[in-house]
Amino acid sequence: MMPYYILDTQSPLPEAFQYVGWGPARYIVAVGSLCALSTSLLGSMFPMPRVIYAMAEDGLLFRFLSRMNKKTKTPLLATIVSGVIAALMAFLFELAALVDLMSIGTLLAYSLVAVCVLILRYQPGSLSSPGQCEKMVDLSGEKTAMNDSDSGDEFACETVPLKEKFTMKLLFVPNCDFPTKTSGLIVYITTATISLVFTVLCCVLSVKMPSLVAGEPLWVTVCAVLAAVSIVCIAIIWRQPESRESLTFKVPFLPLLPLFSIFVNVYLMMQLDAGTWVRFAVWMTIGFLIYFAYGIRNSSVAQSSADKDKHEAALGAKTPIYLKEEPGTESSGA
């Protein structure tokens, strides 16, 4: 329709239609843009109040945000609060800054999902899992895990110590073929380590790419060392036993696929400017203040744990009840 280098970057389609003499078509494009923006706005307005409502109902946010309106049967306060916050941010920040802030939050959320997938796959299952059952028994004063696999009326059990002593050998040669607390802890620590290594490596790749292309020995050595540490961590995670729980869907190609997702997300986060990181740090600080000042003590999990501790303490402090003997019982027995 027209050369791309003379298009108006703010409104390319109306400009192109105007260039070829289709002037009225620009109004159709404008109406379509308004419809698309309205749809996107409504799509963003509906999920946010539900997220705030769910967190408030669980106690992570202030519980008054979970109140339902009797007439509309919707979380009215959560809707108003989310709308006011969105309006304030749209008023105070430019569109590019808001897009970058949304991008860094989304990338962080995706990275955390990949980390959780990686950690949970290598954790020991619950006692009620369909494919794996850990029975706790006392054997010579030492707790032991027994892995059951049902086959008709018979079942086979493997026995390994639950409180196994950590050795360097366990990093590459586990004692059993199903997860234990020790193997789960190894994966947990290794995942935290490789996430930190990926962060440093992506930071170096983003900031010092010209130096790496020029072949400066210092930064090439730094990247090589970080890559070697990453490979060792991947090998450690790969050698640990995976959970045998039967699920509807399991992420394939562990541990490579989640680790690749973490690396790509962190690298994209490092491409954002310093202003976005400052705004994100302020936003996270506000979230941490709300969590540690209110949510951590008022959540449903914290309250249920406190009630359980009180119940156990009451049972432990309960004095035995002695039955009072009836008069004449002793004489009749004599």
* Confidence tier at 196 by pLDDT (50, 70, 90): very high
Range of the domain at 243: 100-124+165-274
Helix, strand, or coil here: 84? helix
Q: Are 202 and 263 in contact (CB under 8 A)?
A: yes
29 occurs within a structural domain: yes
pLDDT at 317: 63
Q: Domains in the chain: how many in total? A: 2
Q: Residue 62 falls within a domain, yes or no?
A: yes
Q: What is the pLDDT of residue 141?
A: 40
Tell whether 111 and 231 lie within a shared domain.
Answer: yes
In a domain, 138, yes or no: no
Q: Is 242 exposed, middle or buried (0-12, 13-18, 19+ CB in 10 A)?
A: middle
Query: Is 85 found in the same domain as 193?
Result: no
Which of 274, 301, 316 represents a domain boundary (last residue)?
A: 274
Better-predicted residue by pLDDT, 240 or 131: 240
pLDDT grade for 327, boundaries at 50, 70 and 90: low
- Final residue before a domain boundary, out of 225, 241, 274: 274
Q: Are residues 107 and 219 both part of a single domain? A: yes
For 22, 131, 147, 159, the CA distances from 153, given in Å and listed in that order, are: 79, 15, 16, 20
